[in-house]
Each structure stands twice: as structure tokens, then as C-alpha cells.
Chains A and B, each alone.
Chain A
Amino acid sequence: METPVNKPKQLRIALRNCGMLDPENIAESIVRDAYQALGKVLKEYSPQECINILKQSGLRGRGGAGFPTGLKWEIASKSKSDQKYVVCNADEGDPGAFMDRSILEGDPHSVLEAMAICGYCIGADKGLIYIRAEYPLAIKRLKIAISQAMEWGLLGKNILGSGFNFEIKLCYGAGAFVCGEETALIHSMEGKRGEPTNKPPFPATSGFMKKPTNVNNVETFANIAPIILKGPEWFSSIGTKNSKGTKVFALAGKINHVGLIEVPMGTSLREIIYEIGGGIKENKKFKAVQTGGPSGGCLTEKHLDTPIDYENLIAAGSMMGSGGMIVMDENDCMVSVAKFYLDFIVGESCGKCTPCRVGNKRLYEILERITQGKGVMKDLDKLKNLSYIIKDTALCGLGQTSPNPVFSTLENFYDEYYEHVVEKKCRAGHCKNLFHYVINEELCVGCAACKRCCPVHAITGEKRKPHYIDSNICIRCNECIEKCSFDAISIQLEPKILV
């Protein structure tokens, strides 16, 4: 049997070492060129020359917003201060996203090395990794990696004889989503409540302990060393006009090959879903893919051939985000998807500004009404208007983008909202108040299997006579359908019939 070969769509830069080496043994990283880039930078480049390389490469922040990394470093390098900091944002929090965890667990030295390079470029001798405490394995491996790098002289004092000092410490986050926002992250590191403040001032001028601070995401750092070693031209030859290099995505949801992938910018959704991801589970119909986490939106069939990059995703009403990609099929209700994300935001908003704290709660409540079949047409206008105002007035990036799931589902799936509100129907059969089970009298043999398994005793009927389900009692657990050997029970997509 031959190994099947198909043309690879993936290109691994950030993930280059994940699954290739033992993250707890620095020697294996050294074999794969770890710290070569740092050595080269310290020996051959001035900080500005190194920053220029990054600027030429076109690398943009992989945390979501896509700010040019070289420019960010340059601003921090030009801030004058006796002390500066390099911060690695490892507070990965988007539902369904695990890119940063995988990099830290699989290749911690790629991040440490890049942080040291950044320190050299901006003039910082201290690095901090803000990592969520829910990532114990990543923390353990980072600790091992830091101590091994210190031991080998690749971090610490006078690195590789250059006179450059750099040390790295870990800060633990308590799992607040908003702490991925850089000002909130900095407050959290300072021991304060993790909530954002107005920008400006930006961290590059006043960050951790009011000192200039450069904050980059894990994946951004993981791209640095290859750019140094292979050159900016190599990196900028990959990708699209304004989005260079690759992007790691965590493929999840109704897709056959759930996993971590890295593709060149410009790859289409179709390639990702059908070629890399192996298509939709159980050959169901593709409905949408959610990108960008709670701040992102849904892309639909019409976007399947759009080349994925920062600009195109925004134009399509979503965003790059940190790289979560959740695939949905015909059984997913898009109103419920919006509700899911709003529920997440309502719990994860820091509570500081009114539109995010109260506005999102009200959005959630409207969505809940709609999924319960209690929505009215006015609710759709309210949803839209309130979403617009939250976007327009919220304090931080989290708040400003929090209504995106509503915008994008309203835009792409208005007919599903309309059905919920007017016809009281959920076509996906997901909203429990909007469908019920019926027993086909002609098929039912009265075996009572359904009656026995029903946890709430909603099914009645005499033996060997057709049974009946009381929709008012039924909790729509689906158990009866699965138990029935005669296909006598079916779902009726109509609102609950009140008897």
C-alpha cells in the first residue's frame, strides 16, 4: 500500500516545528535551527535593520486586527524610556480556537526566540508571556523551555556574546476573554482588574507599568525567525497583495477533518473545507463558516471562493480574528449561532462601558425571544439598530465588534430570522420551542419503546395501539426518535401546539 499523495494546500511556517520535535528538549529545537535567527540578528543587524526586514516582509499581527508588526515594533523602539517590555499575548479565548496553545505546547522556543529578537529591536530586556492558567501543559513546557534556554545561554545575560540581555517571565490570566485586548491584558498583568482603557495612549508609548510595551500574539512571534532566516522577500512572496505569509486556523464544527491547519493567505474557503477539511460531516449541506470568534461573522456559500485575507474577510462581514473556523451545516440554526456568541459576550464583557455591558444583554434577550418563537418583526429592527449603536459607542475592540455575529447572520440569513419571527419555524430543527414530535398512527405498532424511554412521561398510549406525544410536556430530547424501530416518529417544524 502506497502513501496516498495529494497536492498539499497547506504551508507550515508558524507550525513548522509542531509535531516535529520534543518541546521539552531544547536540543531538538536547536537541530531545527532554533535561535539561529536571534544569533543572526544580534550579530549582523542593527535594531532598525531588523525592523526594516519585518516591515518589508509585510507580516501583520495574527491576533486578529492585522496591524503591521514591523511598524508596531518601530513605534515601540522610538519611544524613549529607561525600561521597555515585550509582551506575548497567549490569552487565547475565542471559542473553538487553539492555535496558540498548540504552538506553545509544540514549539515554545520559536516564541521565546522571537520575543528576544523583539526585545533587541525595541530596546527591552524583559519579556512577559501572558498565558491563561487553563493551559497547564503549555505553561509547563514554557517553563521548561525558558529554563533550558537560560541554561544554554540563549536567554539571560550577554546572549551569544552580544552583550544583549533578555529574560522572560510568565504571567497567568484567569481566563477572562477581554484580557486578550492589549490594554486589559496589561492591566491584568499589573494586578489590576482586567478591563480596557481608551487608546491612545497605546501600549507602545505607555504600557506595562506605564512603560513602552510591545504586545504581539503567539502566532505573530512564531513567524519571526523564518522571516529573518529566509528573508523578507521569501515571506512576502507568499500570500495576497496586502496579507503576506500564512495563517493558522483551528478547523472545527461539522467538518470531517477537524484540526489545526496553516494555509497561505489567499487560500479559498472551498479549498480549506473540501480539500483540507475533507468536506462536511455525513455529507450534509454546507451552510456557513464562522471566523473571527465572537468578534467575527459568518461566511456563506457565496464566499466559498473568496481568497481569505484580512481585507476580504472584513469586506465579507467577518474578520480574520485569531483563527477559529467553525463550520456549520444545514442542521445549524443561524439565529441560535448569533445567540450563542452573544451569550458568550454577555458573560465575558468586562462590564465597564454601558453599550457592551447592558446593550449586549439586551441583544441576547431579543435573540432569545426570537428563538423561543416570541419574536415580532419590530425585534429585527431593534436588533439592527442596537447592534449599530454598540458598534458605534463601545469602549474597546471587544465591545465594538461584539454585535458582528448579529450583523452577519442578519445580512446572510435574514430569511431564517424571518421564519422564526413570522412563521415561528426553525428550519434547522434546532430551536426547541419551534418544532415538535409527532407519531404517525399508521406506522406506530404500539410497542411502547418510546413511552418507556421518555424521561418526562410525555408519551401515552395503550399497548398495540398508536401512541401519542404531548408537546407541552415533551422536552425535545430526541430519545424517542432514536428508540423507535418503525420510523413512526418524526419532527414537525411547526411551533409548539398548545393544547
Chain B
Amino acid sequence: MTHIKSLEQLTSKRDELKSNLSRLDDPNNSEKKVQIKVAMATCGIASGARTTMDFLTAELSKRNIPSVVTQTGCMGYCYAEPTIEVKLPGKEAVIFGYVDTKRADEIIEKYIKTGELTEGVIPRNYDTID
């Protein structure tokens, strides 16, 4: 169990976690993985995001693609739920909308396997503070 006792510990913990993540994202690292986030706020779940997430988790492992599928909060594209974000190692994250299982299958086969974009890409239309 982690118990952080000072700001310094917090910062070093953050950096440690960050470097773990960057290993996943490094195309030259053997630990590299496709990182997928599924928007699982109430609105996403109501539009079927759970089905999509279950499908992605099961299929990626079946198809032997090293990947990590996690849930996340609302991405803001309510009109296009369910939405997912796919980050191929070393590449910019891409957001896909209207991701039912059919489109999820398409995304695995096309974008994840070959890097070719499919229908339903949502341009990221905001700046962050990072």
C-alpha cells in the first residue's frame, strides 16, 4: 500500500508512474502497448460504451495485440457516444466516435493493425493546459 508522506515523495511517485507509462508508449520498447481509453461516464455507458469496452478488451487479447484498455470519464462528444481514444505507441492519440462493436472491430483491423484511419475520427477541438 502506498502511503505518501511528503510532497517530494508525491513528486517522485508521479515521475515513477510517468516513466512506466512512457515505456508503454515507446515503439522501441518491448513493453509497448496500444493504449485505449473508453469514455465511461453515465452518458457513454448509456450509449453502449460498456459493450464496446468489453468487446475491445476481449478481442484485442484474442487477436494477440498487446494492449491496455481502460475506462475514462466524459470526453465531451456526447453526440458521438460511445467514444474511444486510441494511442498507438509513439503516435498522437486519435479519438473515434460512434464506436459500436462493428466500428470497434474496424478500428482494430484497420487503425490498430495497419495505422489506416477509419470512419468516425473526431478532431480534437480543444487546447489543454499541459
Contact = CB atoms under 8 A, between A and B. Distances in A.
**A–B contact at 8 Å CB threshold (below):** yes
Interface of A: 1-6, 8-13, 15-25, 27-28, 30-31, 33, 35-36, 39-40, 42-43, 98, 101-103, 105-107, 135, 137-138, 151-154, 160-161, 226, 230, 256-262, 276
B4 A4 contact: no
Interface string B27-50: 000000000010101110100000
A3 B41 contact: no
Interface of B: 1-7, 9-11, 13-14, 17-18, 21, 37, 39, 41-43, 45, 70-80, 83, 85, 92, 94, 116-117, 121, 123-130
Given A19-B73, A22-B70, A160 B2 contact: no
Contacts of A23: 71-73
A438 to B, nearest CB: 36
B2 A16 contact: no
Listed from nearest, the 7 A-B pairs whose CB atoms lie closest are A106-B73, A10-B126, A19-B75, A39-B7, A260-B76, A102-B74, A259-B78
7 contacts: A10-B126, A23-B73, A102-B41, A105-B42, A137-B45, A151-B2, A261-B76
A152 B74 contact: no
A27 B10 CA distance: 11
A100 B42 CA distance: 12
Contact of B71 (A2, A22, A39): A22
Contacts of B126: 8-12, 261-262
A153 B4 contact: yes
A3 B117 contact: yes
A33 B14 contact: yes
B74 A18 contact: yes
Contact of B7 (A2, A9, A43): A43
B92 A105 contact: no
Given A5-B123, A6-B123, A161-B5, A16 B76 contact: no
B123 to A, nearest CB: 5
Given A105-B42, A106-B73, A258 B79 contact: yes
A380 to B, nearest CB: 37
A25 B116 CA distance: 31
Chain B, interface SS category: mixed
A101 B43 CA distance: 10
A6 B125 CA distance: 7
Contacts of B129: 11-13, 16, 226, 230
B105 to A, nearest CB: 18
Contacts of A103: 73
Contacts of B14: 30-31, 33, 36
Contact of A19 (B9, B13, B76, B80): B76
A276 B70 CA distance: 27
B11 A260 contact: no
A152 B3 contact: yes
A457 B77 CA distance: 43
Contact of B4 (A138, A152, A276): A152
A36 B42 CA distance: 28
B85 A19 contact: yes
A99 B126 CA distance: 16
A230 B129 CA distance: 9
Contacts of A8: 124-127
A35 B11 CA distance: 10
Contacts of B74: 18-19, 102, 105-106, 260
A137 B117 contact: no
A35 B36 CA distance: 25
B128 A258 contact: no
Contacts of B70: 22, 25, 28
Contact of A35 (B5, B10, B77, B116): B10
Given A28-B70, A160-B9, 8 more contacts: A15-B76, A18-B75, A18-B76, A22-B37, A36-B10, A40-B7, A135-B42, A152-B3
Contact of B17 (A11, A27, A257, A260): A27
A17 B76 CA distance: 11
A335 B124 CA distance: 37
* Highest count of chain A CB atoms <10 Å: which of B71, B74, B85: B74
B73 A42 contact: no
